[in-house]
Amino acid sequence: MLTGLGVGLALRYGFSTGGFDIISLVLAKTTGKAVGSLMFLTNLAIILVAGFAIQWESALYTIISIYCMTRVVDSVHTSHQR
C-alpha cells in the first residue's frame, strides 16, 4: 500500500517511476480508463509468464500485492480530479 501511495503521488505530480506506468499513462489518455487498472493489466501479463516459468505461489502473492498497489494508485492519482 505504501508503494501505491508513492507511485500515485509521483503520477499525480507528473513524474514517472520508469516502469510500465509510462505505457499505462499513454493508454489512459487514449482509452479513458484508470491508470491503476491499466498498470495492473500490463504487470499481470508479466507475472503470469513468470508464474508459468518459475513458481505459481510467488506469482499469486505478487498479483495480490500489485492489485492492492494499483487500487491505492487509482485513489491517489484521481483524487485531485474530483
Rounded to an integer, the average pLDDT of 4-15 is: 83
Q: What is the pLDDT of residue 64?
A: 93
Cell readout for 61 is 502473492
**Is the model more confident about 3 or about 71?**
71
Residues 6+ apart with CB under 8 A from 55: none
pLDDT digits (tens, 9 = 90+) for 21-79: 888 888 888 998 888 888 899 999 999 999 999 989 989 999 999 999 889 888 887 75
Q: What is the pLDDT of residue 81?
A: 55
Domain spans in the chain, listed from the N-terminal domain onward: 2-81
Look at residues 47, 81, 42, 82 and name the one whose alpha carbon lies nearest to residue 63: 47
Confidence of residue 80 (pLDDT cuts 50, 70, 90): very low
